[in-house]
């Protein structure tokens, strides 16, 4: 008895020093990676904020980026522009419409791809991945011609359709793991109780996949809010510009209004930061669940 205990103690004690070097080696590497990633994201954001607080002469001048007299003139000019609030409303309408339409397609598509295992499913999944790899610029001219024939240019509906086509493959691929995480036995039990397939989907699957739906919807909304290429090309009138196209309007043939551009960038990011702040925990849990399951 004592021999076994001593052997276990010696084995445990001898195994501890082997784990320690691995932890000591991994910790500095992980810390260094965190610092590098933090700087990659923090430095550009800091530069944007500092530039928005400069005057045009400070931006063009040769003085240090950190030695200047801060001013909020760029923010005052941006907020006094009536087009800013119109653009913000446009961005919200487009992002919300894109989110609703994308979820209406991605939820049943993701459920079907999660429950049907066949060669056709594999082909469809491969096609969705290929669609995601296609450059967005390849679709601009064909969509511009189609929307011109259908009268959808310079309309919110046209941009919602274009953004939905762009983001649907991403949403379907993201929703599929959440439905696969739900046991099939729950559906079979509901069907044994007399529930139809539609009722099983509505009453069983949707409530259990609500975290995935919320996660996918939030990500689609964020991507649609910042979409730039379609917004610039499909809106012909500056009056209808969303925020992303309004940012591009700060660049003209006569120069770039750097303080105004950066101030608009900060103002545009505020709603996104607020949404991310309230949904961070949901996004983290949802993406982790979808990745693990």
DSSP assignments along 5-47, one per residue: HHHHHHHHHHHHHHHHHHHHHHHHHHHHHHHHHHHHHHHHHHH
**Residue at 280 is within a domain:** yes
**Residue at 48 is within a domain:** no
Q: Which residue would you say has higher pLDDT here, 197 or 169?
A: 169
pLDDT at residue 142, rounded to an integer: 93
81 pLDDT more than 70: yes
**Residue at 34 is within a domain:** no
191 pLDDT more than 90: no
CA angle 245, 251, 256 (to 5 degrees): 145
- Give the H or E element holding residue 256: strand 255-256
**Residue at 144 is within a domain:** yes
pLDDT at residue 64, rounded to an integer: 58
User: How do residues 47-57 score in pLDDT, each as one tens digit?
Assistant: 888 888 888 77
pTM above 0.75, yes or no: yes
22 pLDDT more than 80: no
- What is the distance in angstroms between the CA of the first residue and the CA of the last residue of the chain? 44
pLDDT at residue 235, rounded to an integer: 92
**Residue at 173 is within a domain:** yes
**Residue at 68 is within a domain:** no
Mean pLDDT of 215-239: 91
284 pLDDT more than 50: yes
**Residue at 273 is within a domain:** yes
Among 3-17, 198-212, 217-231, where is mean pLDDT lowest?
Answer: 3-17
Mean pLDDT of 156-180: 94
Q: Which residue would you say has higher pLDDT here, 264 or 100?
A: 100
- The total number of structural domains in the chain stands at 1
Query: Rounded to whole angstroms, what are the CA distances from 189 to 8, 107, 199, 208, 292?
Result: 48, 22, 13, 15, 25
Enclosing domain of residue 88: 83-290
Mean pLDDT of 140-150: 94
Residues 167 and 108: their CA atoms lie apart, in Å, by: 15
Contact 250, 257 (CB under 8 A): yes
- DSSP annotation of 201: I
- DSSP annotation of 202: I
**2 pLDDT tier (thresholds 50, 70, 90):** very low
CATH number at residue 216: 1.10.3720.10
**Residue at 234 is within a domain:** yes
Mean pLDDT of 238-246: 88
Residues 262 and 255: their CA atoms lie apart, in Å, by: 14
Query: Rounded to whole angstroms, what are the CA distances from 176 to 123, 162, 255, 287?
Result: 15, 22, 47, 12
225 pLDDT more than 50: yes
pLDDT at residue 10, rounded to an integer: 44
Mean pLDDT of 150-156: 93
């Amino acid at each position: 008895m004592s021999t076994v205990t001593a052997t276990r103690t010696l084995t445990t004690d001898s195994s501890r020093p082997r784990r320690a070097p691995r932890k000591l080696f991994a910790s500095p590497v992980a810390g260094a990676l965190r610092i590098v990633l933090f700087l990659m994201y923090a430095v550009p954001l800091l530069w944007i904020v500092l530039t928005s607080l400069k005057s045009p002469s400070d931006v063009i001048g040769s003085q240090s980026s950190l030695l200047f007299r801060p001013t909020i003139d760029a923010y005052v000019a941006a907020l006094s522009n009536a087009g800013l609030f119109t653009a913000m409303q446009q961005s919200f309408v487009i992002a919300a419409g894109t989110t609703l339409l994308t979820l209406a397609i991605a939820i049943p598509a993701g459920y079907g791809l999660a429950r049907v295992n066949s060669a056709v499913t594999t082909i469809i999944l491969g096609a969705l991945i290929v669609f995601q790899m296609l450059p967005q610029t390849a679709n601009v001219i064909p969509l511009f011609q189609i929307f011109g024939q259908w009268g959808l240019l310079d309309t919110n509906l046209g941009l919602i359709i274009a953004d939905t086509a762009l983001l649907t493959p991403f949403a379907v691929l993201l929703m599929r793991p959440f439905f696969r995480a739900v046991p099939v036995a729950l559906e079979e039990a509901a069907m044994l109780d007399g529930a139809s397939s539609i009722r099983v989907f509505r009453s069983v699957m949707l409530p259990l996949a609500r975290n995935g739906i919320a996660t996918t919807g939030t990500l689609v909304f964020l991507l649609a809010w910042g979409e730039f290429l379609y917004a610039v090309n499909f809106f012909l009138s500056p009056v209808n510009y969303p925020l992303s196209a309004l940012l591009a309007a700060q660049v003209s043939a006569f120069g770039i209004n750097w303080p105004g551009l950066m101030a608009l960038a900060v103002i545009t990011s505020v709603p996104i930061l607020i949404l991310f702040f309230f949904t961070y925990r949901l996004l983290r849990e949802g993406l982790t669940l979808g990745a693990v399951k």
